[in-house]
Structure 1
Amino acid sequence: MGPRKAADVKGEKRMMLSMRMNMEMIKKYEAGMLLSLLTKEYSRNPSTIGTILKQKEAIKEATPSKGVTVFSSKRSHIHDGMDRLLLFWRKDKEMAGDTITKEIICEKPSAIFGDLMLAQAEANAGKGTTK
């Protein structure tokens, strides 16, 4: 049998594991469950489970916003802060009885993200001048 063609691989999707599932795996492993049993229970490759267990400290320390289900290296603490601030903003608007239009919903995350990036740049500049 020859190597797989690109057309064969196209239909396969990469399955991301949720934060909840990662935490469950870590708790079960720390409780004494064997790696081989975890691979059978979650139907995952042993290397996938091993990678999760190697990163268990980072996964435990991560405090994702409500609704964030995937732990991603592309997602920074700024994104989590933006999610939290956006959630607070939305709840304030709902409590005040304000109408939230599609345009406002599209603009607000960008504004919050810009503000957080600016604050981080100022903090980094402040750290560079003080030794």
Structure 2
Amino acid sequence: MAPKKVKSGRISGVKKPKRITVETKKETIAKHENGACVSDLTMQYDMAKSTICTILKNKEALKAAVVAKGVTILTKQTPKLLDEVEKLLLVWINQQELAGDSVNETIICEKALHIHRDLLVTLPSTSTASVEEFKATRGWFDKFRQPTGIHSVIKHGEAASSDKKATEDFVKEFNKFVEDEGYVSHQVFNCDETGPFWKKMPKRTYITQEEKALPGHKPMKDRLMLLLCVNASGDCKIKSLLVYHSENPRVFKCNVLKAKLPVMWRANSKAWVT
């Protein structure tokens, strides 16, 4: 039997090439000029010897390059003005990230246009005539996103609004209290509540190529509240408390005994733990 053909680019187990930032390349060149040999640099940066040699071969262009942090590719086609726009834009994105503000593709493209217009004002009139019109299109955004490494993520829960320092201080104080009072892990309990929207559908979906849009729908906001409690050793789980807005839902009329449910059933008009 003839051996099966393996499609190019589909071989399993092949590692994808690791992108090396321009900063790392400059650092490699500096260490080589200070006396480090290629073998040492290969072990230190976990690169192939040929990769190190290629970096050293292009050291003049790399040393002269002034790019934003995180950039991995040098392109000769990028105009100097656009390169300055992208550097300032990456700084702005980093500031928004530190401030906890959300930015999407539309906001980033709008900001890029504002930065470009501001830089055009600072240029002499003779230079602005030769500058091509900049349009922050989807294609430009993809080219900007790939070398800089920015990517879309989902902001989860209350992590962004939590006080990390206060949490760390509380852990230290609580551990000291437990030790001073002589408690063991069986006696230390933690209790917290969570409110799942049990009828809510996902916000994102896929549609077929023939469809252009999906009709909107009003999301279901019917929810319940769960109060969970367990000790630190994990061998004592208290029966969960479930709070719903109805004392006797319609489904309970079908011979459902609340006393036999795996949770303690309580009712509140807003499904709150009061």
Matched with 2:65 is 62
Cα distance in structure 1, aligned partners of 2:29 and 2:42: 12
Matched with 1:109 is 112
* Structure 1 contact 59–71 (Cα < 8 Å) conserved: no
Cα drift, residue 86 of structure 1: 3.7
Matched with 1:44 is 47
How big is each residue's C-alpha offset from its partner over 1:11-31, in whole Å with a ceiling of 9 and x where there is no partner?
A: 632211112211121011101
Larger Cα Rg: Structure 1 or Structure 2?
2
Instruction: Please list, as runs of the form range in 1=range in 2, the aligned pairs for 1:1-131 lying within 5 A after superposition.
Output: 5-6=7-8, 7-8=10-11, 12-65=15-68, 67-73=69-75, 76=78, 77-86=80-89, 102=104, 103-110=106-113, 122-123=129-130
Structure 2 residue matching 1:47: 3-state secondary structure: helix
Q: Which structure carries more relative contact order (alpha carbon 8 Å, separation 6+)?
A: 1
Structure 1 residue matching 2:52: 3-state secondary structure: helix
Q: What is the CA RMSD across the aligned residues, in angstroms?
A: 4.0
- Runs of 4 or more, structure 1, over 6 Å off, are none
Give unmatched runs, 5+ long, in structure 1. Answer: 125-131
Give unmatched runs, 5+ long, in structure 2. Answer: 132-274
Structure 2 residue matching 1:58: 3-state secondary structure: helix
Please state which structure has a larger fraction of its residues in strand: 2
Change (3 A) 1:84 1:46: closer
* Structure 2 contact 26–62 (Cα < 8 Å) conserved: yes
Cα drift, residue 53 of structure 1: 0.5
Cα drift, residue 39 of structure 1: 1.4
The count of residues paired between Structure 1 and Structure 2 equals 114
Cα distance in structure 1, aligned partners of 2:5 and 2:116: 44
Change (3 A) 1:114 1:26: same
Cα distance in structure 1, aligned partners of 2:118 and 2:12: 41
Cα drift, residue 69 of structure 1: 3.2
* Structure 2 contact 22–72 (Cα < 8 Å) conserved: yes
Change (3 A) 1:114 1:9: farther
Cα distance in structure 1, aligned partners of 2:71 and 2:15: 21
Please state which structure has a larger fraction of its residues in helix: 1
Please give the TM-score of this superposition, normalised by the length of structure 2: 0.33
Matched with 1:127 is none
Q: Percent identity?
A: 32
Change (3 A) 1:110 1:12: farther
